Amino acid sequence: MNNHEKLLEPSDGLFNQIMSRIHEEQKIIMVKRRFAIFFVGLIGSMAAFMPAFKMMQTGFNESGFINFFSLLFTDIEMVMTYWHSFTLTLLGTLPLMSVATFLVIIFVFLESLKFLTQDMRIIFKHAQVFNH
């Protein structure tokens, strides 16, 4: 074997290094796609927050829930006497759909934020590793 043939021989771990780099790049592409999806979810939940809050506030005002709930602070003796009826009245006037919608939007916002921070950490770590 002459010197030219030795120079053309790949190092022992070259194939594994190439495959590892390809696998890492595929993983980063998936993380970037997931980042985009959760970013849209975060923006959407932020946009829906105020309308959902207004809907919930309107539901509480229209149903009379606030009026019944305020009895806890103004006439506690009456509430304690008729606690069973009072509890059923509060449950009956609770605007469940608007509260559920609001809570779903909060949940989507928090979950999107959680995944975005995880994905950003992975993306920035990857950028630092391969840029240096």
pLDDT of residue 44: 96
Instruction: Say how many domains are in the chain.
Output: 1
Q: Does 54 map to a domain?
A: yes
Q: Does 81 map to a domain?
A: yes
Query: What pLDDT, in 10s, does the model give residues 49-92?
Result: 999 999 999 999 999 999 999 999 999 999 999 999 999 999 99
**86 vs 8: CA distance, rounded Å:** 86
Q: Does 6 map to a domain?
A: no
pLDDT of residue 130: 62
Q: Does 38 map to a domain?
A: yes
Q: Does 62 map to a domain?
A: yes
- Residue linked to tokens 């602070």: 73
Higher-scoring residue by pLDDT: 1, 45: 45
**126 three-class SS:** helix
Residues 56, 101 contacting (CB under 8 angstroms): yes
Residues 72, 90 contacting (CB under 8 angstroms): no
Query: What pLDDT, in 10s, does the model give residues 103-129?
Result: 999 999 999 999 999 988 888 887 776
Q: Residue 43's pLDDT band (boundaries 50, 70, 90)?
A: very high
Q: Does 15 map to a domain?
A: no
Name the pTM for this structure. Answer: 0.74
Higher-scoring residue by pLDDT: 6, 58: 58
Q: Does 80 map to a domain?
A: yes
Q: Does 115 map to a domain?
A: yes
Q: Show Cβ contacts of residue 105 under 8 Å, excluding neighbours closer than 6 positions.
A: 45, 48, 49, 52
- Its domain, for residue 97, covers 23-131
The closest of 29, 25, 30, 37 to 116, measured between CA atoms, is 37
Residues 99, 101, 106, CA angle at the centre, nearest 5°? 95
